[in-house]
Amino acid sequence: MQSDIHFRILAVDDEPQATHTLKRILELRGYTVEEENDSTRALETAKRFHPDVVIVDYLMPDTDGGDVAWQLASEPSLKGAKVIMCSGLDPREFSRKLPPTNIPILQKPLDSLALLELLPTN
């Protein structure tokens, strides 16, 4: 069932299947979703797309999700974007490496209901 939600979400994960699945789930609920599977391009994609929310995997090659979160937090044009971290790792292994911005951390596999509770709605 599609609604009138007009929020933009950027899904960042090095696994294309993960971002594709997330995109399908969220688009069915009315969100506009952009996928990025190269963490080194996440900031540039976010600056172009101007998301309201960025859902980012922590464990990725080259640039991990913590680095992506710091880049997003340091970009003035993305100040209003909410970051949601997801990972199969125990959050205690990496949460201290995140910016001090109260980033929610969801365990993989993602619980879509828990994710939806964190997303903005009209």
CATH number reported for the structural domain that contains residue 23 in this entry:
3.40.50.2300
Question: Which residue segment(s) compose the domain that 25 sits in?
Answer: 8-113
Residue 79 domain-assigned?
yes
Mean pLDDT score across all residues of the chain: 93
pLDDT average, residue stretch 21-38: 96
Assess contact for 89 and 59: CB atoms under 8 A: yes
Residue 119 domain-assigned?
no
Residue 120 domain-assigned?
no
> Per the structure, how many domains does the chain have?
1
pLDDT average, residue stretch 33-42: 98
Q: Which 3 state secondary structure label does DSSP give 121?
A: coil
Confidence of residue 4 (pLDDT cuts 50, 70, 90): low
pLDDT beyond 60 at 44? yes
Q: How far is CA 86 from CA 2, 4, 77, in A?
A: 25, 26, 23
pLDDT digits (tens, 9 = 90+) for 53-82: 999 999 999 999 999 999 999 999 999 999
- Stated pTM of the model: 0.93
pLDDT average, residue stretch 20-25: 96
pLDDT beyond 70 at 115? yes
Residues 59 and 56: their CA atoms lie apart, in Å, by 9
